[in-house]
Amino acid sequence: MSTAFISVYDKTGIVELARVLSQARIDIISTGGTARLLKNAHIPVQEVSDVTGFPELLGGRVKTLHAKIHAGILYKRDEAQHLKEIAELGIPQIQYVIVNFYPFTTAIKKDLSTEEILDFIDIGGCTLARSAAKNYPHVTVVVDPTDYSEVMHQVQTMGSTSLVLRKKLAFKAFNLTSYYDSQIARFFQEKFHIRQFPPESSIPLYDYSPLRYGENPHQHAALYGDFWNYFQQLQGKDLSYNNILDIDAAVRTLLEFPAEKAVAAIFKHTSPCGIGMGNTVTDAYLKAFETDRESPFGGVIAINKPLDSSLARLLSEIFVEVVIAPEFEDEGLKLLQKKKNLRLIQVCFEKLPFPRFVIRSLFGNSYLLQEPDTILLDQDKIEVVSLRKPTQKEIDKCMFGLKVVKHARSNAVVFSDSDRTLAIGSGQASRVDAVRIAIEKAKREGISLQGSAIASDAFFPFPDGVELAAAAGASVVIQPGGSVRDKEVIETANNHNMAMLFTHIRHFLH
């Protein structure tokens, strides 16, 4: 006689599934609350303790970890010795295992003590699922209530499940236990402040959202995680893979700036087109837009203050893909909603957590992991290396540019005032080319670089970049330093009466 083992925390649909199994003359073994629920529904059930001859222990902590249960799942139906042992010991022939786990991932989001959270770590359910999945040629494991209907259909029409279905369900079981354990490991890593990367690791991916396609239409793509807990789409077409990358880049940049000032960031292909800061969002946006009035076409615009009707009118005049704000005032929202395809995204800046890792996939089934670049420069640790000391206004210009260049693709430089970018050159193999591009963009836009600051994400390897910046009008340079030619670079700054600051912090971004 076939047997099903059922023990679930989420009891959605379990009565219906158990009834179908029972009607197919499949015995049911169950535990605790699940057994009570099935008995109340008049479905014949055996308590696990009646099968094992062993009571539940430690307040329910130990109830299914018994040889009689796992042997009944793991034995090979085509091996004579296994069949002999099963018969001699009166072990039930468990053909179905239906389990789901204590909601650990929900518990860690609640205001619970560590001891309370530990009680949400499932042991028995995970072990049952792994045993059943390992023996998928003979056993059906079900860990997701959405699969109940397919299992019921096959049992009713075929008398059992197909090997194809069992393979799929085994994959889901191992995938879920892997994810579940990775969440527990991540919890311990954060709780115990363990910063180093472990020799082996898995990244928990959850809350799957399919995307229309990836960077290009021929590439499949999906979004995982808590993104939609912090970003709410108010209108427009579904977000694309590229939209999400630009949203992430723009929001990261906004978070570099003080919350009390209005800041606007314009991004395209994860590169900043312009950043502005002002007393109002309109003022901030205009400063950002003036940096480069061509590139924002089809880009992403993010602000850190509520979007009002004044800014909405300006944004209505150009084509952008996405507008991001912490709030949309009613009149401004109505104006932007006239552009039906425009994606409007509301973000909760205050609750937005920084990412734990930066992850890149490589050939050879390999991955690169690193911590995100969240370091904040301490102004007191800046080293003045030039003969002339910078003025406070020049330092303010440097600090603005440094916050932006950190989020531009390397090699990158930013010419800036204390409240806006003036020119940006990024994504170049040569640093001097990044300087040339920034200067050419400023000329094209009719922007004077006289008295500006130039910020560099890494050191100037040669004096040529500083020479060009000085000729363009920059009066101060901020850079990490560390080149073998630092002395020559500093001399160049001194020859042009420029102030030069070393941060000793590099901000490469690839």
State the catalytic residues: 134, 269
DSSP assignment of 303-361, as one string?
ESS-B-HHHHHHHTTS--SEEEES-B-HHHHHHHTTSTT-EEEEE-TTT-PPPS-EEEE
Closest CA to 416 of 220, 256, 179: 256
Omega cis (within 30) before 411: yes
Separation CA 336–CA 329 (nearest Å): 11
207, 228 Cβ separation under 8 angstroms: yes
How far apart are the C-alpha atoms of 324 and 247, rounded to whole Å?
8
Q: Which residues contact 47 (CB under 8 A, 6 or more apart)?
A: 29, 30, 31, 35
- Cβ-based burial of 362 (10 A; exposed 0-12, middle 13-18, buried ≥19): exposed
How many angstroms separate the first and last alpha carbons of the chain?
Answer: 61
Take residue 510 and report the two structure tokens written for it. 């690839």
Token pair 């229309």 is found at 212
Task: Identify the bridge partners of residue 267 per DSSP, sorted by sequence position.
Answer: 272, 300
* 403, HSE (Cβ side, Cα atoms, 13 Å): 29
**Cα–Cα dist 468/320, whole Å:** 33
Residue with tokens 């600090």: 399
Pairing of β 2-7 and β 27-30: parallel
Q: Does residue 411 contact residue 467 with C-beta atoms inside 8 Å?
A: no
| CA dihedral of 321, 323, 329, 330, whole degrees rounded to 10 | 10
- CA 495 – CA 422 distance, rounded (Å): 24
Tokens encoding 427 = 């994504």
Q: Which of 202, 250, 208 is nearest to 228 (CA)?
A: 208
Q: Quick check: 246 and 268 in contact, CB under 8 A?
A: yes
Give the position of tokens 């279905």.
165
* Residue 383 to residue 500: CA distance in whole angstroms: 9
